[in-house]
Structure 1
Amino acid sequence: DWMGFIFYPKSPRFVSEIPAYLPQKAKRVGIFVNEPKEIIIETASLFGLDFVQLHGNESPGFCNEMDRSRLKIIKSFRVGDKFPNEEVEPYHGKCDYFLFDAKTSLYGGSGKKFNWNVLSDYRGETPFLLSGGIAPGDAEALKYFSHPKCIGIDINSRFEIAPAQKDVQKVEQFISMLKS
């Protein structure tokens, strides 16, 4: 439904120019890490982004200042052994969605998983995406994962043949298994 484009230069999945395969039906998500607002807005316009996913140390004020009339804002949070309620709380009302990823030293794309049970401590109103090392073999477990604010699953590195090159067959099988 959504396709991500990583605009973080240190990522092996970094997108430096407009690819020939821009989706027409899928929503476009731009992933950024600590970029200035002007760069994000310029990139969003150039790539026709629908969403901006912020994976760095962006403040609640920064998120709120983004042009939310034109772009939906997704703020990523790293989740470890316990849910980071104190960190997430100031972002309510300033982002359209949250993304909960595994806590690592990286800005996402680590292939690491976290214990999804800690999300039972999330009682906020902002809908979220589940992320963090989700692999093709997780489809069955995901059928049993339930949270009233979870709106989707973010898959990435565990579905790749090489950085930025998805194994389409794995993705299709995974979606089919989730729907069965």
Structure 2
Amino acid sequence: MKKSLAIKVCGMRRPDNIRAVAQLPIDYMGFIFYPKSSRYVEMESSGTGLLPDTANAEISSAGCADKAAAICKVGVFVDDSVQNILTRVVNFGLGAIQLHGNETPTFIRNLRATMVPDICPELKVFKAISIASAADFDKCAQYDGLVDMFVFDTKCIGYGGSGQQFDWSVFNAYTGTTPFLLSGGIGEDDAQRILSISHPLMAGVDLNSRFETEPAVKDVERLSHFIAQLKQ
């Protein structure tokens, strides 16, 4: 029997939408902390110039409600500082961080050493890898065994959220040992194609722009129907 795919819904921001999506059978919910993204989650200024910024209270409370408490919150960062990442891990109660830039293995080791075990003992680190062809999987080798999960996204101008897919037939070229989430332009018509992928390290899917009514607002009904197909 084929294992059940993990579901990550990324690019969340609006509290009511967070609560609604959290009622679905998902495993991860992503919050984007990259200022240039149209799905950027801002911090709230303390207004003093002395105290650090804090998490948006509405977003944090939505992420703690009902079923949401069992969903791993993933913060998405692009070439950010350890200090900024640490602040958001603590303030938003993140269980995982997803690195979408050019972060080096040394940076990731330093980040883990800062966070684990004192701040977030079970912190998971995901590394996004942009894919256009089989050759792009070569970039995985330097992170293999260092990160908990790869996120294979479509190579594009910018950092994800393009709504475009790469050629999924290239997966045979990935020979690493780290599991991965499939990302990039997954839409409602892709369930059967996803279920037909037989790579043993495919852990799940990352859903975002093609389930939106506007940036950072997900269509819960469409998501529910699609997830039901994947879990049938």
Fold equivalence (TM over 0.5): yes
Displaced runs of 4 or more, over 3 A:
none
Asked if structure 1 preserves the Cα contact closer than 8 Å seen for 2:131 and 2:137, the reply is no
Deviations along 1:9-37, one digit per CA (max 9) or x if unpaired, are 10010011431421312110000001001
Aligned-residue offset at 1:81: 2.2
Which residue of structure 1 aligns with residue 200 of structure 2?
A: 148
Partner residue of 2:91 out of 46, 53, 56: 46
Which residue of structure 1 aligns with residue 150 of structure 2?
A: 98
What aligned pairs does 1:124-143 form with structure 2 within 5 A after superposition?
124-143=176-195
Aligned-residue offset at 1:83: 3.8
Alpha-carbon distance in 2 for matches of 1:146, 1:87: 22
TM-score between both structures, scaled by the size of structure 2 = 0.75
Alpha-carbon distance in 2 for matches of 1:156, 1:52: 17
Alpha-carbon distance in 1 for matches of 2:197, 2:103: 29
**How many correspondences in the alignment?**
180
What aligned pairs does 1:1-180 form with structure 2 within 5 A after superposition?
1-17=27-43, 18=56, 19=59, 20-22=61-63, 23-67=68-112, 68-69=116-117, 70=121, 71-180=123-232
TM-align CA RMSD: 1.2
TM-score between both structures, scaled by the size of structure 1 = 0.95
Alpha-carbon distance in 2 for matches of 1:107, 1:14: 12
User: Secondary structure of 1:151's partner?
Assistant: strand
Asked if structure 2 preserves the Cα contact closer than 8 Å seen for 1:83 and 1:119, the reply is no
Q: Any stretches of 5+ residues in structure 1 without a counterpart?
A: none
Percent identity between matched residues is 43
User: Secondary structure of 1:99's partner?
Assistant: strand
Asked if structure 2 preserves the Cα contact closer than 8 Å seen for 1:61 and 1:94, the reply is no
Alpha-carbon distance in 2 for matches of 1:83, 1:121: 8
Alpha-carbon distance in 2 for matches of 1:21, 1:169: 19
Asked if structure 2 preserves the Cα contact closer than 8 Å seen for 1:100 and 1:131, the reply is yes
Asked if structure 2 preserves the Cα contact closer than 8 Å seen for 1:83 and 1:122, the reply is no
Aligned-residue offset at 1:136: 1.0
Asked if structure 2 preserves the Cα contact closer than 8 Å seen for 1:83 and 1:118, the reply is no
For the pair shown, the structure with the greater C-alpha radius of gyration is 2
